[in-house]
Structure 1
Amino acid sequence: MINCSSKDLEFIDPYEFVNTDFDQIGDLPTIVDEDQEVTEPEVGEVANSEETQAIINEVMDLGESGEVSAATKAKLEEVETFIEQLPPAVNTAAQNLDAEAINNILDPSVELSSDLQAVRDALSLPASVRQLLPVINFSTDFRISSSANKSAVVYDINDSDIRSQSVSGPCADAARLSYEIKIEDLEAQRDANLAIVDGNYTRRLGEADTRYEQRLVEQEERLATNTADITTVLVDLLAAADAAAAAGNFELEAQIRQLTLLYAIDARASLIEWNNLVLELLEDTMAEEKAWAEERKTLRTAEVTAAFDAAKAQANTLLTSALNSCHNQGSGN
């Protein structure tokens, strides 16, 4: 071990150069951790059929002939042909439809009879008839989610054991003290930045949960509104059937009631399917927002750590240089 004696340093200030060297190291940059711009997912809807609405309008405005157009008649005859292929109980249900029966069909908590369930299972209809039924309008946000495998990032900081260097004496002690003071200051800045990153991460997770819960409430409201819109069309179909009967066109009345049953059963299934897809979308959206928060935390933590490591490496280099200077001056070089 080389000892820098007090006599060797008698004519110089052994501390000035080691105390000021560490001032070269600037403060760590304050972390900039901006929030993600939140975009609400587009969830689509179950849309009523414009063609069925046109049929309702036409029937409600029947002339003295009591007949509908050839195109409408052809569509309704296809509905009738489909119903005739099913058990007789299905047509009986169609002819006895009322507002209460429609509400029961649309209520997913009310189990359908086996005959009516078979109607939905057998809904392989010509395109012209399919256009008379509700349709799910999917948005571009509906997608198959996939969970990416995320590897944990480990930051392994290997510190040089500067303190083990063999130079000793008051000059070296002053260098080491200045070094320790600087490192403590840098560590405090690093920890303050990491506290910002961790705080933002925790907040973002909570906000993602809050948005998810709010979206669930909004979807429940959308489902109720969508169901009400479809119910309105179904009630209008019953009114159109009554109008056909009032005009003496009982065949048209029976066909419209058959269409009403098909419409209600298909709407029930479409509403359930759409709602389930939306719930999956909302859950996926929450997961993506949390994944973004996790990735941002990892990224910002790496930035803070890298800035600290760079500053500490600079401090290590300065300490080594200072200790070398202490040795050279102490040895008379």
Structure 2
Amino acid sequence: MKTNFTFLSQKHFKLMALAVFSLFLVNCSNDDDAPEVFEFEEFENLSELPEVDDPEPEFTEPDLGSVNDSEATKAMVADFQDGSGDLSDATKDNLTTVDDFSDGLVTDIQEEAQALDAATIEEILNSAELTGDYAALATELENLPAGVAALFPSIAFSDDYNRAQEQNKDGIIINDLMSDLMSQAGTGPCFDVALASYNTALEAPIVKRDTQLATINSNFDARITAANSRNDDRTAALNSMLEENRALVANSASAILTYADSISDTDAALALSLREFALLYVVKSTVLINTFETEATSLIADTLTSETERIATIKTEKTQLVQSNFAAVKAEADALLTAANSKCHNQGSGS
């Protein structure tokens, strides 16, 4: 039996070999064209931005003091109003003291004393500055004998007045990216990945920093508003106190005038003495109340200034702390970026 073998032609063999070689080249080409993966996991361990507490500061209300009426004069007024018509020995002695003092005054007050009434009392008490005979009389009442001074109101200043006499807001701005770091970088995918990793790592610290700064600014605004509100409350309280003081003086002076009118027909001399005392009492009280108003208003203003300065200082200090904390985290990120850029350079410019 004859066996026949079929052999590939030389042409067919060459074509098959070429096909196998082509497949080999394709596989090699695919391996060579695969993009290199650049990873910088060190940025994932970037330190977190620390918390910053901004507790509410405590403020102490200033003691404005007070204008205190004379106990001796209150006793005299009670004597005038008891309806008996008889005056106590203490009242008589006080009137004698005032009478003797009035006789030594340079300013002639008889005419003003005779014309004194409720409307005039209110006008004097509401005068920010006395004029004419009233001003001259006020000058003579600046230095009084103890017995006379005891019949007029007195000012009780607190220690806060002495303390008051003895005693912008944006933080540092730090750019999120530094130009010098950019100048260190090259071009290519490695550098692009390094910069992207850097920016991603800083996203959370930047957000936290901005949130902290926003909270500090919000706290500052709220505290300034509260300080102004406290200032308004103090001013309202002072005005109420002054109104009460003036009303008390007006009522006492009116009571003196009422008693003077009741005895004008039977004891004109005593009635005139009482009217003169009422005038002195109103004028001196006006000076004292106005003095207290000036000093208390100044104390209130000083208190507001002190509070707002403290609030501003807190904002500045907290802002600087946040910026300092962020600067430290950013410096850490900058160092990582510098190291990453160096790696890229060592890998052949990142290409």
TM score, norm. by length of structure 2: 0.74
Tell me whether 48-57 or 24-33 shows the greater mean CA deviation.
24-33
* TM-fit CA distance, 1:329: 7.5
Residue aligning to 1:24: 45
TM superposition shift of 1:209: 3.3
Q: How high is the TM-score relative to the length of structure 1? A: 0.78
Q: CA RMSD in A?
A: 3.7
CA-to-aligned-CA distance 1:277-332 (integer Å, 9 cap, x gap): 2222222222222212221121111011011011111112333344455566779x
Q: Work out the CA distance in 1 between the residues paired with 2:181 and 2:241.
A: 65
User: How does 1:292-331 map onto structure 2 within 5 Å?
Assistant: 292-324=310-342
Name the SS for the 1:35 alignment partner.
coil
Give 2:148's match in structure 1, choosing from 123, 126, 129. Answer: 129
Q: Secondary structure at the match of 2:144?
A: coil
In structure 2, the partner of 1:270 is: 288
Tell me how far apart the structure 2 counterparts of residues 183 and 47 of structure 1 sit (CA, whole Å). 65
3-state secondary structure, aligned to 2:151? coil
Structure number, greater radius of gyration:
2
Match of 1:182 in 2: 201
Q: For 2:106 and 2:191, how far apart are their aligned partners in 1?
A: 100
Shift, 1:94, TM fit = 2.3
Confirm or deny: 8 A CA contact 1:28 1:186 kept in the other structure: yes
1:67/1:249 contact within 8 Å kept: no
Between the two proteins, the alignment pairs up a number of residues equal to 315
Match of 1:102 in 2: 121
Of 120-129 and 212-221, more deviation after overlay is shown by 212-221
Q: How far does residue 132 in structure 1 lie from its aligned partner after superposition? A: 0.6
Residue 40 (1) aligns with residue 51 (2): no
| Structure 2 letter corresponding to 1:216 | T
Q: Which runs of 5+ in 1 are unaligned?
A: 1-6
Task: Output one character per residue of 1:153-191: Cα deviation in whole Å (capped at 9) or x when no partner.
Answer: 873759582333367665454333211211233222222
Tell me how far apart the structure 1 counterparts of residues 197 and 130 of structure 2 sit (CA, whole Å): 81
Residue number in structure 1 paired with 2:88: 68
Q: Indicate whether 1:280 and 2:298 are aligned.
A: yes
One-letter identity of the residue aligned with 2:221:
T
Measure the CA separation in 2 of the matches of 1:99 and 1:34: 54
Q: Which moved more, 1:192-201 or 1:155-164?
A: 155-164
* CA distance in structure 1 between the partners assigned to 2:337 and 2:107 by the alignment: 95
After TM superposition, list the pairs within 5 Å mapping 1:136-175 onto structure 2: 136-143=155-162, 155=172, 161-165=180-184, 170-175=189-194
Segment of structure 1 superposing worse, 24-33 or 131-140 = 24-33
Do the aligned residues in 2 keep the contact of 1:234 with 1:263 (CA within 8 Å)? yes
Match of 1:228 among 247, 252, 260: 247
Secondary structure of 2:155 counterpart: strand
Measured after TM superposition, the shift of residue 262 of structure 1 is 1.0
Distance in 1 (CA, whole Å) between partners of 2:165 and 2:42 is 53
Structure 1 residues 169 and 212: alpha-carbon distance in aligned structure 2, compared to 1, 3 A threshold: same
Partner of 1:282: helix, strand, or coil? helix
- 1:242 CA drift (Å): 5.0
Farther off after superposition, 307-316 or 154-163: 154-163
- The amino acid that maps onto 1:288 is S
Q: Which residue in the other structure is 2:72 paired with?
A: 51
Deviations 1:121-180 (A, max 9, x none): 1112101110110112223332475799xx888737595823333676654543332112
Aligned AA (1:48)? D
Cα shift at 1:99: 2.3
- Partner SS state of residue 116, structure 2: coil
What's the CA shift for 1:67?
A: 5.2
Percent identity between matched residues is 33
Q: Pick closer, same or farther for the CA change 1:154–1:99 going to 2, 3 Å.
A: closer
Of 138-147 and 204-213, deviating more is 138-147
Quick one: which amino acid aligns to residue 33 of structure 1?
D
Q: Determine helix, strand or coil for the equivalent of 1:142.
A: helix
Task: Label 1:242 to 1:218 Cα distance change in 2 as closer, same or farther (>3 A).
Answer: same
Does the 8 Å CA contact 1:223/1:275 hold for their aligned counterparts? yes
